[in-house]
Amino acid sequence: MQLAFCLYKYFPFGGLQRDFLRIALTCQARGHAIRVYALEWEGEVPAGFDLIKVPVQSMFNHRRYAKFTAWVRADLARRPADRVVGFNKMPGLDVYYAADPCFEEKARTLRKPLYRYSPRYRHFAAYEQAVFGPESHTEILMISSTQQALFKRHYGTPARRFHPLPPGIAPDRRAPPNAAELRTAARGRFATEFGLHSGDLLLVQIGSDFPRKGLDRSIEAMAALPEPLKRRTRLVAIGADNPDPFIAQAGRLGVGERVFFPGGRKDVPDFLLGADLLLHPARHENTGTVLLEALVAGLPVLASAACGYAHYITDADAGDIVAEPFHQAAMNDALAAMLANPEARACWQRNALSFAASTDLYSLPEHAADVIVGQRG
């Protein structure tokens, strides 16, 4: 079967992008041919992938996306595919992977009414309608039950078209049998890179789009720590984003020498094993895969309730969740309490590893591939 995957941008450190790659590789391993349409691609192209970088340009993203859709449609007319799978909302999809939240809900709750008269709104609203409208035949791979309810409310999407998926945590995120040795080795390397000494506490925040992920909230909470804890604490923010505003914030708050921005990293598993706490106080987050990556590595989590996967941390009793509506003081207090209590962190670690061993947090690619190759046109 010839499968065509469509996404606007691929880079190695994005959550949507990692999900796309694992799903496509799973389909390929089952014997299907993989063609990929993308506007931008960073990093290696897997063996056997037919990557097509769509040559369209525009000053405005929504116009570029419209040109992308038209170009792909024309190419598919010349070279048909058995399934067209989208990781961004667009017309003409057989299957859509719902990594992004409901655009219409955000437009109506987070924007002023005049926004709905803009060309940008009209484009994205029409593309979302093309996927979720009741007249559409697109099958929807759903990773957030909360978002599913919003799509049904705005579009009346038939329930039969939603296919709920379990999480898809990569096996290399799980704590291996020699996790304690790997932690010691990782912290030895971090001593050189981040000035981490014996007895210091390492906070890690992982994910691009620093403003949406709430990195400013993490820096604020670190700066509010009691002085003895603050002196022992380092924060490493991993992600492909502009760090300048956050470097400035850390400097203003007097923690500039304790906050580090190493960019995107390939050694994320080392941080999951070597850190003392994952911070993820996102403003909005469809799922928050990194929460589960930390959980299966045994790393306690402090996150916001805005994360779709926050309930897993509560279910596992593997950390703390800051309630919505978010209050900075609540996060400040939670961080100080978690760092001051090593016994609680050890308990959260044990709970996390037990939960990870008894719960399906891994089979998203396989379930997605089942829907993709079994979906009827």
pLDDT level of residue 376 (50, 70, 90 thresholds)? very low
Q: How crowded is residue 137: how many other Cβ atoms within 10 Å of its Cβ? A: 10
Q: Which amino acid is it at 173?
A: R
Q: 106: Cβ–Cβ under 8 A, 6 or more apart, which residues?
A: 284
**Among the listed ranges 13-17, 36-40, 67-71, 123-127, which one has the minimum average pLDDT value?**
13-17
User: pLDDT for 310-360, tens place per residue?
Assistant: 999 999 999 999 999 999 999 999 999 999 999 999 999 999 999 999 999
pLDDT level of residue 104 (50, 70, 90 thresholds)? very high
Q: Which CATH superfamily is domain 2-166+362-374 in?
A: Glycogen Phosphorylase B; (3.40.50.2000)
Beta bridge partners of 52: 37
User: pLDDT for 198-227, tens place per residue?
Assistant: 999 999 999 999 999 999 999 999 999 999
343, two tokens: 């016994």
pLDDT score of 100 more than 80: yes
Q: Which amino acid is it at 268?
A: V
pLDDT score of 119 more than 60: yes
pLDDT level of residue 237 (50, 70, 90 thresholds)? very high
Residues of the chain with CATH 3.40.50.2000: 2-166+362-374, 171-358
pLDDT level of residue 172 (50, 70, 90 thresholds)? confident
Is the pTM for the entire model greater than 0.75?
A: yes
Average pLDDT, the chain: 96
HEC profile for 20-75?
Answer: HHHHHHHHHHCCCEEEEEEEEECCCCCCCCEEEECCCCCCCHHHHHHHHHHHHHHH
Average pLDDT score over residue span 89-101: 97
Closest CA to 15 of 271, 296, 274, 286: 286
pLDDT score of 375 more than 90: no
d(CA 33, CA 82) in angstroms, rounded, equals 10
Closest CA to 298 of 175, 200, 181, 187: 175
d(CA 197, CA 188) in angstroms, rounded, equals 9
User: pLDDT for 6-51, tens place per residue?
Assistant: 999 999 888 899 999 999 999 999 999 999 999 999 999 999 999 9
Counting residues of the chain whose pLDDT is more than 70, the rounded percentage is 99
pLDDT at residue 171 in the model: 79
pLDDT at residue 377 in the model: 37
pLDDT at residue 271 in the model: 97
d(CA 377, CA 372) in angstroms, rounded, equals 10
CATH (residue range 171-358): 3.40.50.2000
